[in-house]
């Protein structure tokens, strides 16, 4: 039998890339099978917190090795205590309850204007977002910018965030548990921004925030009430720009959604004048 030749470095790298492994987490390899108790990644020494209270910070740090249930509980309590967006960001910087943090380069909190009347929410950051620390800066972000521009919006007049603020490794789909743990933070972020209109981009964001199990083909273009706990916000679902890049024929429907959004913004202006 002829022995198989060893793969070249290039073939190995291609194999890893195809499997979604596109970044190194540490300088040297770690054999996790030999030491199952080793944590997945060493959290960096936390920077001094800005704005969040000391008990809240202590609570979120304590979750590093806790169970998912404890992490969820801690996320709920921490998010509820954040009085401002800056405090919420500081809490997330310190929060160790979501494993995605340990593989991401940095937190991707938000972009745009915190005073905006309209807020867009996507699923999770991709590679470019992870490197820059800002949501929607890659290819799909460029399309989102063009979509917003068609109705006279740009990043000075909108606020943009994601349900998950850390990039899942290799852009894999976040697990339901990761989504649940991050949910209290995006809910608090929406409550603090308090926009007149909330736009969910794509299925995961729509299903998570608008509590629907229907697919985007059925939910897009429909208005929902999003309850912050203190106020009902008008919310609408539309296609994720990454989906539109893959299926450009749906841009026609996305354009209808954008027109509905523009009309609702006009109505909200007249109503509040």
User: Which residues sit at the interface with ligand URA, rule CB under 6 A?
Assistant: 122-126, 129, 135-136, 138, 140-141, 162, 242
Minimum CB distance to ligand URA smaller for 97 or for 241 = 241
Helix (H) or strand (E) holding 112: strand 111-112
Task: Specify the DSSP element, H or E, that contains 261.
Answer: helix 251-272
Please say which residue, 94 or 200, places its beta carbon nearer to ligand URA. Answer: 200
Q: List, in order, residues 6 or more apart from 271 with CB less than 8 Å away.
A: none
Q: Which two tokens stand for residue 52?
A: 């969040």
Q: In angstroms, give the least distance from the CB of 91 to ligand URA.
A: 20
**Contact call for residues 227 and 191 (beta carbons, < 8 A):** no
Minimum distance between the CB of residue 244 and ligand URA, rounded to whole angstroms?
12
Closer by beta carbon to ligand URA, 49 or else 125: 125
**Residue given tokens 């990761």 in the structure block:** 178
Name the residue nearer to ligand URA (CB basis): 142 or 222. Answer: 142
- Minimum separation from the CB atom of position 85 to ligand URA (A): 17
**Is residue 90 packed enough to be buried (19+ CB in 10 Å), middle (13-18) or exposed (0-12)?**
buried
Q: How far is the CB of 242 from ligand URA (least distance, A)?
A: 6
Question: At its nearest, how many Å lie between ligand URA and the CB of residue 160?
Answer: 8
Q: Taking the complex as a whole, how short is the minimal distance between the CB of residue 135 and ligand URA, in angstroms?
A: 4
Number of Cβ within a 10 Å radius of residue 206: 30
- Could you tell me if 148 and 154 are in contact, meaning their C-beta atoms sit under 8 angstroms apart? yes
Cβ nearer to ligand URA, comparing 243 with 255? 243
Report CA 136 to chain centroid distance, whole Å: 10
Which of 66, 243 has the CB closer to ligand URA?
243
Q: How far apart are CA 201 and CA 237, in angstroms?
A: 6
């Amino acid at each position: 039998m002829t022995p198989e030749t060893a793969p070249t470095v290039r073939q190995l790298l291609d194999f890893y890339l195809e499997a979604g492994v596109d970044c190194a987490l540490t300088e040297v390899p770690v054999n996790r099978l030999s030491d199952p108790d080793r944590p997945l990644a060493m959290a960096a020494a936390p920077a001094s917190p800005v704005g969040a209270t000391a008990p809240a910070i202590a609570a979120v740090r304590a979750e590093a090795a806790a169970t998912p249930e404890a992490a969820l509980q801690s996320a709920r309590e921490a998010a509820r205590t954040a009085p401002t967006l800056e405090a919420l960001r500081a809490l997330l910087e310190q929060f160790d309850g979501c494993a995605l943090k340990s593989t991401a380069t940095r937190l991707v909190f938000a972009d745009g204007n915190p005073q905006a009347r309209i807020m867009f929410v996507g699923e999770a950051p991709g590679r470019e977002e992870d490197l820059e620390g800002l949501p929607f800066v890659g290819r799909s972000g460029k399309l989102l910018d063009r979509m917003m521009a068609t109705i006279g919006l740009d990043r000075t007049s909108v606020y943009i965030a994601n349900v998950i603020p850390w990039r899942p490794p290799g852009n894999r789909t976040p697990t339901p548990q990761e989504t649940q743990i991050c949910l209290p933070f995006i809910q608090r972020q929406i409550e603090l921004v308090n926009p007149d209109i909330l736009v969910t981009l794509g299925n995961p964001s729509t299903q998570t925030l608008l509590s629907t199990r229907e697919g985007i083909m059925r939910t897009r273009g429909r208005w929902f009430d999003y309850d912050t706990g203190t106020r009902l916000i008008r919310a609408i679902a539309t296609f994720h720009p990454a989906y539109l890049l893959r299926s450009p024929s749906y841009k026609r429907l996305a354009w209808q959604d954008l027109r509905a959004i523009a009309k609702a913004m006009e109505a909200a202006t007249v109503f509040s004048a």
